[in-house]
Structure 1
Amino acid sequence: MSDIVVFGAGGTAGSRITAEAVRRGHRVTAAVRRPEAVSYLPAGVRVVTGDATSARSVRELAPEADVLVVAVGGGERGLWLDAARTLVEVLRELPDPPRIIHVGGGSTLLDPDGRRFLDDPEFPDEYRESARGQADALDFYRAGADGVTWTYVSPPPLEFHPGARTGRYRTGTDQPVVDAAGRSVLSYEDLAVAILDEIEKPAFTNRRFTAAY
């Protein structure tokens, strides 16, 4: 059993990660900006006011945690990099820091030509700045996160939606996992399964991974 803090536990990804962790018997703290708005989280979850971009908040929650999950979204481009920097800076202060699991964007994955999906001229402009923000965080972990243990998780770049929990998936690293038809598809529920599997049996330490059917 692990003590898991989920920043952004009220969101689409965070709520499913929280539910999957509870399902497996872990102790879960949901760190959200508005605790009164997440009454739908499973029973037994400790709900606190928390913000992954606040050093004070991270200092309060990190010492007793085994894992910090970052599942934040909906902000400006700098949100994801701010969260990554804050966690790394605070965790470096601790003698036995928890691991970071950072849920990032699928648009940072590489197409068959080795180009990030977010750099495709046809990538939707309305999502490009947030995609660049997620890429900034990944670049930071790869270049500037010495002294901490992290894993960056990318869902499929396009076909990623709420759906069924099947408990099955395949993993990859920097390119999408595709099926026989060339599609990369996954539900939020099965991304949560993949993340909890990674927490319980680490296979991508200080690396990025992706998952799909």
Structure 2
Amino acid sequence: MSNIVVFGAGGTAGSRITAEAVRRGHRVTAAVRRPEAVTYLPAEARVVTGDVTSARSVRELAPEADVFVVAVGGGERTLWPDAARTLVSTLREVPDPPRIIHLGGGATLLAPDGTRFLDAPDFPDRYRDPALGQAEALDLYRSAADGVPWTYLSPPPLEFHPGERTGRYRTGGDHPVTDAQGRSVLSYEDLAVAVLDEIENPRHLNTRFTAAY
């Protein structure tokens, strides 16, 4: 059993990760900015006020955590690099720091020609700022997270949506995992399965991986 803190536990991904962690018998702390607005999480999860971009929040929650899951969203471009920067700089000062599992952007994955999906000329403008923010967070982990264990998990770049929990998926590195038709698809429910599988059986320490059917 692990002590897991989920930042952004009230969101689409974070709520499913919280539920999956509770389902497996872990101790879960759901860190959200407005606990009074989160009434739909499992009763077994402890809901607290927490902000992954606040060094104070990170410092307060670190002693009781084995893993920090970063599943925040809906903010400005700076949200994700600010989160990564705060975690890395703060956890460097913590003895035996919790491992970071950062739910990153699928648009940071590489197309067959080696370019990022977010750099494609037809990449939707409305998604560009979040994608660039997630790319900056990934670069920060790769370049500055010495001494702080981390994993960055990217969902598929396009077909990623709520759906069925099958418990099945395949993993890859910097390129999307595709099926026989060239599609890369995953549900939020199975992303949560992948996150908890990685917590229970670490296979991607200090690197990025992706998951899809």
- TM-score if structure 2 supplies the norm length? 0.99
CA shift for structure 1 position 150 = 0.1
The equivalent residue for 2:158 is 158
Gaps of 5+ in 1: none
Structure 2 residue 196 is the aligned partner of structure 1 residue 193: no
The equivalent residue for 1:141 is 141
- SS of the aligned residue for 1:25 comes to coil
The equivalent residue for 1:177 is 177
CA shift for structure 1 position 191 = 0.3
- SS of the aligned residue for 2:192 comes to helix
Q: 1:125-181 deviations in whole A, cap 9, x for unaligned?
A: 011011000000000000111010000000000000000000000000100000000
- SS of the aligned residue for 2:43 comes to coil
Q: 1:3-36 deviations in whole A, cap 9, x for unaligned?
A: 0000000000000000000000000000000101
In 1, Cα distance between equivalents of 2:44 and 2:186? 27
One-letter amino acid of the structure 1 residue matched with residue 147 of structure 2 = G
Gaps of 5+ in 2: none
In 1, Cα distance between equivalents of 2:95 and 2:194? 28
The equivalent residue for 1:203 is 203
The total of aligned residue pairs comes to: 213
One-letter amino acid of the structure 2 residue matched with residue 59 of structure 1 = R
The equivalent residue for 2:20 is 20
In 1, Cα distance between equivalents of 2:38 and 2:162? 18
CA-based RMSD? 0.4
The equivalent residue for 1:9 is 9
In 2, Cα distance between equivalents of 1:45 and 1:114? 41
**4+ residue stretches of structure 1 with deviation over 4 A?**
none
- SS of the aligned residue for 1:52 comes to coil
In 1, Cα distance between equivalents of 2:146 and 2:91? 11
One-letter amino acid of the structure 1 residue matched with residue 139 of structure 2 = D
One-letter amino acid of the structure 2 residue matched with residue 98 of structure 1 = P
One-letter amino acid of the structure 1 residue matched with residue 112 of structure 2 = P
CA shift for structure 1 position 95 = 1.1
Structure 2 residue 130 is the aligned partner of structure 1 residue 130: yes
Q: 1:61-119 deviations in whole A, cap 9, x for unaligned?
A: 01110000000011111110000010111111111100000001000000000000000
- SS of the aligned residue for 1:180 comes to coil
One-letter amino acid of the structure 2 residue matched with residue 135 of structure 1 = A
One-letter amino acid of the structure 2 residue matched with residue 192 of structure 1 = A
- SS of the aligned residue for 2:156 comes to coil
One-letter amino acid of the structure 2 residue matched with residue 138 of structure 1 = L
In 2, Cα distance between equivalents of 1:161 and 1:68? 23
In 2, Cα distance between equivalents of 1:76 and 1:171? 29
Q: How does 1:24-173 map to 2 (within 5 A)?
A: 24-173=24-173
